[in-house]
């Protein structure tokens, strides 16, 4: 199909339709889709109907739309991220059971400059815990993101530090020098701990997970209220889980600084 008058491709419009759905908007009418996806009413109605016919969307008896099972099926069938999450679960459960804190697995979405959570185990209702499966948070203001970035190639670190920061990081009062020191300390310690950056009262502790050749794949993290932090107990458990998962993912060797490429 040809591009729209605005120059937007069909794929771009389909992605906008899918992005219109979220936890607060699991079902939408075609008219609501048009508004949230910034499409004309006729385009939204046509795309929603076509996507429902192919199973990408599901049309309810009330005429509303929600994400279809085909997307879930394709993701389960072919995603390497799904496999990563499944392999990580036993290691996450070990942390979850022994530490009794919310435990998550995150990866970097470099294109969107965010981390995205693949798995999450909940020990208690922490009102300040913003992590959720398939949820996104900024890289520079989360322990999970900094644990990944610290062991990423230098050019990637420089890009994140040099480009405009997300509002949470910008308003936290931290400086570029402070972030550089934190990344360096993370490479030395093998983990990172943040208190009250994303949400006041929330604490995040994260360790990187490596794959073949020492490439960082993601990070395991614990989120707890600041008054429940005990790094002397939590960090060894977290590091043991991250190292065990790294071995399962094909890493051989001792974690160290990223290659300077």
Higher pLDDT: 3 or 41? It is 41
Q: Please tell me the distance from the alpha carbon of residue 120 to that of residue 85, in angstroms, as a whole number.
A: 9
Q: Please tell me the distance from the alpha carbon of residue 105 to that of residue 66, in angstroms, as a whole number.
A: 26
**2 has pLDDT over 80:** no
For the stretch 63-115, pLDDT in tens is 999 998 888 777 666 567 888 988 999 999 999 888 888 899 999 988 888 99
Neighbouring C-beta atoms of residue 35, cutoff 10 Å: 13
pLDDT, position 260: 40
For the stretch 207-242, pLDDT in tens is 999 999 999 999 999 988 877 778 888 999 999 999
Burial profile 218-255: b = 16 or more Cβ within 10 angstroms, e = fewer: bbbbbbbbeeebeeeebbebbbebbbbbbeebebeeeb
What is the average pLDDT value for the chain, to the nearest integer? 85
**256 has pLDDT over 80:** no
**pTM greater than 0.85:** no
pLDDT, position 221: 93
**199 has pLDDT over 70:** no
CATH numbers and ranges of domains, the chain = 10-73 (1.10.10.10), 79-248 (3.30.450.40)
pLDDT, position 35: 94
Beta bridge partners of 208: 219
Max CA pair span of the chain: 60
Higher pLDDT: 128 or 225? It is 225
Instruction: Give CA separation, 77 vs 21, 71, 82, in Å.
Output: 22, 10, 9
Angle, CA 20 vertex, CA 118 and CA 24 arms, to 5°: 70
pLDDT, position 73: 72
What average pLDDT does range 168-178 have in this prediction? 87
pLDDT band with cut points at 50, 70 and 90 for residue 1: very low
Q: What percent of the chain has pLDDT over 70?
A: 87
What average pLDDT does range 116-144 have in this prediction? 79
**258 has pLDDT over 50:** no
pLDDT, position 259: 43
pLDDT, position 79: 67
Neighbouring C-beta atoms of residue 28, cutoff 10 Å: 21
Instruction: Give CA separation, 226 vs 82, 98, 137, 170, 205, in Å.
Output: 31, 18, 19, 22, 11
């Amino acid at each position: 199909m040809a591009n729209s008058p605005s120059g937007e491709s069909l794929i771009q419009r389909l992605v906008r339709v899918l992005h219109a759905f979220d936890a607060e908007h699991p079902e939408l009418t075609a008219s609501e889709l048009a508004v949230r996806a910034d499409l004309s009413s006729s385009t939204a109605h046509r795309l929603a109907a076509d996507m429902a016919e192919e199973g990408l969307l599901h049309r309810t008896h009330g005429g509303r739309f929600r994400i279809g099972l085909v997307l879930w099926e394709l993701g389960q069938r072919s995603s390497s991220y799904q496999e990563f999450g499944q392999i990580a679960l036993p290691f996450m459960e070990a942390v979850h059971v022994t530490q009794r804190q919310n435990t998550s697995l995150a990866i970097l979405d470099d294109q969107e400059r965010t981390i995205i959570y693949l798995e999450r185990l909940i020990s208690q209702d922490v009102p300040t815990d913003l992590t959720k499966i398939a949820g996104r948070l900024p890289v520079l203001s989360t322990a999970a993101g900094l644990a990944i970035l610290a062991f990423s190639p230098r050019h990637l670190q420089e890009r994140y530090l040099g480009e405009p920061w997300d509002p949470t990081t910008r308003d936290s009062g931290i400086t570029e020098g402070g972030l550089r020191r934190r990344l360096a300390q993370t490479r030395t310690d093998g983990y990172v701990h943040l208190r009250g950056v994303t949400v006041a009262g929330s604490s995040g502790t994260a360790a990187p997970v490596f794959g073949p050749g020492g490439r960082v794949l993601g990070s395991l993290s614990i989120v707890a209220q600041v008054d429940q932090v005990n790094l002397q107990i939590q960090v060894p458990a977290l590091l043991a889980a991250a190292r065990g998962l790294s071995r399962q993912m094909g890493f051989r060797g001792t974690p160290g600084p990223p290659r300077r490429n």
